[in-house]
Amino acid sequence: MNTLLSINGLSFSYGRKTALNGISLDLKEGGVTALIGQNGAGKTTLMRAITGLLPITENVVTVDGIDVASNPRKVHQMVGFLPDMLGFYPSLTVQDNLAYAAQINGLTDEEARQAVENTLLRLDLTSKKSDPAGSLSRGWRQRISIAQAIVHSPRFLALDEPATGLDPDARLSLSKLFLELNQAGMTLLVSSHILAELEDYCNHIIMLEDGELVGQRDIKNFLAYRKSDVKDLRIELADDRTSIERALLILSQDTQCNDIFHRDRIITLRFHGTDADQHILLKNLFAADVHVLSAGEDHNGQRETLRDAYHRMNNKTPPR
Ligand SMILES: Nc1ncnc2c1ncn2[C@@H]1O[C@H](COP(=O)(O)OP(=O)(O)OP(=O)(O)O)[C@@H](O)[C@H]1O
């Protein structure tokens, strides 16, 4: 696969505030990459830099070999961008907003007419095409914005928090749309806080922290990532509230245990230790009069999710 996006030492500051610091990465054509990171990590800034919306240094970001800083218009024709703040003309109809987006991205009138028709169909927007964009609900507005971002059939599509404000059905259809666009050859970069959704369609992940790239890997490898001295344990307790609470307290204080989940009487956790350490852990539970019915390695545990992996990279226990 060819490299479509190449970033080589990208830094960007808003005044004295450094938002991106020496980012370097390559994205291959045809992938779907999840861009994750906490609030303020620099995700939006990175997307804006890639899509030619920020004044960046020349020869630092290229899309298909074209320098974004010196050829922003050319790059706009190749990329689509869904910003976190939706932008369209509220008094124009849905159709006219799309036609405008197509034309400013270099399509002729005839190409734009055809592209608008196809995009309306693809996003199920045909019934709304004559409505003023500003009169529609948040979910429909989101669709209009996605339609605007893809109307010129970009090769690279960046989506900043695309699922925000959408109901579960709309989120599902969004996931399907991303897969469809990817199968049609588009390369996607998607930022979201909803990790379980990214997992449905992303095959690569990049992680930012304080403006720096702190992790990058293919999700298949990412999900398979396991240290040899790490195992998943499943502990079944008697149905005794005090016992369960005591067990959770002991486990949460043990630095060898993390990713502790508990449902009813079953506790699952990731244990970082040897068999002897595991034996000591159980002895501690027994010593505290925790009523353990069974304990052992959880071979049937769910595969590691993107959410688990993200929280582990951040050294946090996922919320129960
Ligand atoms: N226009 C601006 N002026 C000054 N500082 C800014 C501006 N935009 C962003 N920043 C700062 O740059 C840093 C990165 O912001 P950015 O919006 O790229 O992060 P993010 O990862 O997208 O965050 P979020 O998940 O909250 O949207 C933050 O510290 C933010 O406060």
* Position 318 pLDDT exceeds 80: no
For residue 300, name the pLDDT band (cuts at 50, 70, 90).
Answer: low
47 Cβ closer than 6 Å to some ligand 1 atom: no
Strands 156-160 and 79-82: parallel
| More confident: 198 or 152 | 152
Phi/psi of residue 87, each to 5°? -135, 115
The continuous run of DSSP H or E covering 34 comes out as strand 32-36
Instruction: Report the alpha-carbon distance of residue 21 to residue 317 in Å, rounded.
Output: 28
Same domain, 174 and 29: yes
Span 206-213, mean pLDDT? 91
Same domain, 71 and 90: yes
Secondary structure letter of residue 132 according to DSSP: B
Same domain, 19 and 46: yes
Give the distance (Å) from ligand 1 centre to CA of residue 34: 18
With vertex at residue 193, the alpha carbon angle to CA 232 and CA 213, rounded to the nearest 5 degrees, is 85
Domain carrying residue 239: 230-303
Phi/psi-derived region of residue 92, left when phi > 0, alpha when psi is between -120 and 50, beta in every other case: beta
Same domain, 199 and 263: no
State pLDDT tens for residues 237-275.
998 899 999 999 999 999 888 888 888 899 988 888 888
Q: Is residue 168 part of a domain?
A: yes
pTM of this prediction exceeds 0.80: no
Which CATH number belongs to the domain containing residue 283 in this structure?
A: 3.30.70.100
Give the distance (Å) from ligand 1 centre to CA of residue 80: 20
Look at residue 249 in the predicted model and tell me its pLDDT: 92
State pLDDT tens for residues 27-73.
999 999 999 988 899 999 999 999 999 999 999 999 999 999 999 98
Strand order in the sheet with 66-67: 17-28, 3-14, 61-63, 66-67
Question: What is the residue whose two structure tokens read 């499943």?
Answer: 234
15's CB contacts (< 8 A; 6+ apart) are: none
Give the distance (Å) from ligand 1 centre to CA of residue 263: 37
Q: Which residues lie across from 33 on neighbouring strands?
A: 189, 204
37 Cβ closer than 6 Å to some ligand 1 atom: yes
Same domain, 211 and 240: no
Instruction: Report the alpha-carbon distance of residue 257 to residue 278 in Å, rounded.
Output: 10
Instruction: Among 219, 249, 271, identify where a domain stops.
Output: 219
For residue 225, name the pLDDT band (cuts at 50, 70, 90).
Answer: very low
Which CATH number belongs to the domain containing residue 82 in this structure?
A: 3.40.50.300
Give the distance (Å) from ligand 1 centre to CA of residue 17: 9
Q: Is residue 248 part of a domain?
A: yes
Secondary structure letter of residue 257 according to DSSP: E
Atom in ligand 1 nearest the alpha carbon of residue 37? 21
Instruction: Report the alpha-carbon distance of residue 71 to residue 62 in Å, rounded.
Output: 10
Look at residue 299 in the predicted model and tell me its pLDDT: 62
36 Cβ closer than 6 Å to some ligand 1 atom: no
Residue 82's Cβ-side half-sphere holds a number of Cα atoms within 13 Å equal to 26
13's CB contacts (< 8 A; 6+ apart) are: 19
Look at residue 17 in the predicted model and tell me its pLDDT: 95
19 Cβ closer than 6 Å to some ligand 1 atom: yes
Number of domains forming the structure of the chain: 2
Q: Is residue 320 part of a domain?
A: no
One DSSP character per residue, 196-252 reads HHHHHH-SEEEEEETTEEEEEEEHHHHHH---TTEEEEEEEE-S-HHHHHHHHHHHH
17 Cβ closer than 6 Å to some ligand 1 atom: yes
ipTM exceeds 0.90, yes or no:
yes
42 Cβ closer than 6 Å to some ligand 1 atom: yes
Look at residue 307 in the predicted model and tell me its pLDDT: 61
Reference 233, options 155, 299, 280; nearest CA is: 299
Q: Is residue 26 part of a domain?
A: yes
Same domain, 122 and 37: yes
Give the distance (Å) from ligand 1 centre to CA of residue 163: 19
Q: Which segments of the chain does DSSP mark as H helices, in order?
A: 43-50, 72-78, 94-104, 109-122, 138-150, 168-183, 195-201, 219-224, 241-253, 275-287, 306-313
Same domain, 214 and 277: no
Give the distance (Å) from ligand 1 centre to CA of residue 180: 31
Mutate to test the pocket of ligand 1, among 38, 45, 191 (most ligand atoms within 8 A of CB): 45
Strand order in the sheet with 212-218: 79-82, 156-160, 187-191, 32-36, 204-209, 212-218
Work out the mean pLDDT of the chain and round it to a whole number: 86
63's CB contacts (< 8 A; 6+ apart) are: 4, 5, 50, 75, 78, 79, 155, 156
* Position 85 pLDDT exceeds 80: no
